[in-house]
Structure 1
Amino acid sequence: MDNKNIQLATVGGGCFWCTEAVFQEVKGVEKVISGYTGGNAPGRPTYREVCSGLTGHAEAVQVTFDANIISYEDVLIIFMTTHDPTTLNKQGADRGTQYRSVIYYHNDTQKDIAEAVTKALGPYYKDPIVTEISKAEIFYEAEKEHQDFYKNNPNYGYCNFVIDPKLAKLRQLHADKLK
């Protein structure tokens, strides 16, 4: 008998390669898909179009997780503590609205939890949290070469200099939540 409680979380925390790599290590996460959402340009956006900043889309991930193993609240806490939620439209050297910090909620319960988590974590940061909380919109899966990027390119420079430190932070802060 399958007693899973499968739910979906959609978040953007800068480059989707980083966020994807983080959640692929979390216990209870079944699948992570990199993609684009939250934009205003018509049609299916491409990586190049999203990187231009003109489509309004954010690089984001959809995280399919078993809520019997990890709660939505814990998913958001991991998200908020493995990127910088205090920088507007940038993460590290990546700049533009496509790299904004954002939580896309799928229902009112997720919205309430997102608001509570950002409020609770606020005092732990020197600067105010600027993470956007928005209703989930159409999610477009990114091109194949952007899926499992870290797993497929662990020696790529960006992975070593940007993703590895985020994974180290994940392992330090959330060791009890790892696979």
Structure 2
Amino acid sequence: MNKNLQTTTLGGGCFWCTEAVFQEVKGVEKVVSGYTGGIAPGKPTYREICSGLTGHAEVIQITFDANIISYEDVLVIFMTTHDPTTLNQQGADRGTQYRSVIYYHNELQQKIADEVVKQVQPYYDDKIVTEISPLGIFYEAEEEHQNYYRENTQQGYCSFVIAPKLAKLRKLHADKIK
């Protein structure tokens, strides 16, 4: 079967969480943690991102096979495994670097993102504040941030923050799990 590989870039708080979720999804070929959406020149570091001064968001860049999972399904999973109604915050993580954002790679992705946000809004009591913006330069995060959950499952953050998101993924999207 020929693969139909596509790429999307999403920010839903800490990239360790979103990375762990999408590594479990059928059709996802690759997940890379990184940064985008900022104004500071040059490649930012994790420490600079955490300051909140660069304007970058922690994001993941997902390569997926659209013959197995659609872009729309990727976005529905994204919108239902983090809280898209909190501005610049996911749980205890606060700051613009933790914003909920869909960075589209082309006009079709923008259109689908707009539609998915409208489709999932009725499931939330509060207004969805997920930003939908064109992708700028994507910077890959440092190596220690790649595959973080898989390599650090015993860490407190992984147990208390990431594991519940994975449980939610399995409950809401069992048919999409590898």
Normalising by structure 1, we get a TM-score of 0.99
Deviation, structure 1 residue 129: 0.1
Deviation, structure 1 residue 58: 0.1
Name the CA distance, whole Å, in 2 between partners of 1:120 and 1:25: 23
Write the deviation string for residues 84-126 of structure 1: whole angstroms up to 9, x where unpaired: 0000000000000000000000000000000000011111100
Query: Residue in 1 aligned with 2:24?
Result: 25
Q: Which amino acid aligns with 2:115?
A: A
Is 1:121 the counterpart of 2:120? The answer is: yes
Name the CA distance, whole Å, in 2 between partners of 1:49 and 1:161: 25
Deviation, structure 1 residue 47: 0.1
Is 1:64 the counterpart of 2:69? The answer is: no
Question: What do you get for the CA RMSD once the two structures are aligned?
Answer: 0.4
Deviation, structure 1 residue 151: 0.3
Name the CA distance, whole Å, in 1 between partners of 2:127 and 2:120: 10
Q: Which amino acid aligns with 1:140?
A: Y
Deviation, structure 1 residue 176: 0.1
Name the CA distance, whole Å, in 1 between partners of 2:104 and 2:165: 23
Is 1:101 the counterpart of 2:112? The answer is: no
Query: Residue in 1 aligned with 2:166?
Result: 167
Q: SS where residue 76 of structure 1 aligns?
A: helix
After TM superposition, list the pairs within 5 Å mapping 1:124-163 onto structure 2: 124-163=123-162
Name the CA distance, whole Å, in 1 between partners of 2:52 and 2:38: 10
Percent of aligned positions that are identical: 77
Q: Which amino acid aligns with 1:50?
A: I
Is 1:76 the counterpart of 2:75? The answer is: yes
Query: Residue in 2 aligned with 1:4?
Result: 3
Q: SS where residue 30 of structure 1 aligns?
A: strand
Name the CA distance, whole Å, in 2 between partners of 1:92 and 1:67: 31
> Which residues of structure 2 form unaligned runs of 5+?
none
Q: SS where residue 58 of structure 2 aligns?
A: strand
Deviation, structure 1 residue 41: 0.3
Name the CA distance, whole Å, in 2 between partners of 1:24 and 1:120: 24
Name the CA distance, whole Å, in 1 between partners of 2:161 and 2:121: 24
Q: SS where residue 2 of structure 2 aligns?
A: coil
Deviation, structure 1 residue 57: 0.1
Name the CA distance, whole Å, in 2 between partners of 1:51 and 1:154: 22
